[in-house]
């Protein structure tokens, strides 16, 4: 049986620091210059978790210490380049190593993320991860 592929698998990494979240400014289209979560495409033979750790490191310099899946985002129109499904992870990291790289023109902790212009569906992804983080802290 052969499988039919109709979408690409991506990951997004949500790292909170204080009242802010780690965001990059995209170096490339789509949404060039806009804030986005670190993330990207899962490579062939790579797990989603490994892709999240790799992408976060390549774009922000962060070394992720733990991951918790926070959601799956599959709206067919979420990426103007074509159909993508993203697995989002809530992550912990020491942000002292924060440094833009790879597809990131800049990286910073953005405290006003609720009002910032964000690429893709990243506002929803951050909001969902924030709710999950608050729930986990109450346990």
Nearest by Cα to 74 from 121, 41, 117, 26: 121
The span from the CA of 87 to the CA of 19, in Å, is 23
Active site residues: 106
Tokens of 98: 């924060």
Adjacent-strand bridge partners of 78: none
Contact, 87 vs 72, CB < 8 A? yes
DSSP label of 76? T
Strands 8-17 and 84-93: parallel
- The pair of structure tokens assigned to 27 is 């170096």
């Amino acid at each position: 049986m052969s499988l039919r592929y109709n979408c690409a698998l991506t990951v997004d990494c949500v790292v909170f620091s204080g009242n802010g979240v780690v965001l990059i400014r995209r170096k490339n289209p789509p949404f060039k210059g806009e804030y986005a979560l670190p993330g990207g495409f899962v490579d062939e033979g790579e797990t989603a978790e490994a892709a999240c750790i790799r992408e976060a490191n390549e774009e922000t310099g962060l070394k992720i210490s733990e991951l918790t899946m926070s959601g799956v985002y599959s709206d067919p129109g979420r990426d103007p380049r074509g159909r993508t499904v993203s697995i989002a992870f809530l992550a912990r990291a020491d942000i002292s190593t924060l440094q833009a790289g790879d597809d990131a023109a800049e990286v910073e902790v953005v405290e006003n993320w609720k009002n910032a212009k964000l690429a893709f569906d990243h506002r929803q992804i951050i909001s969902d991860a924030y709710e999950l983080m608050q729930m986990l802290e109450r346990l």
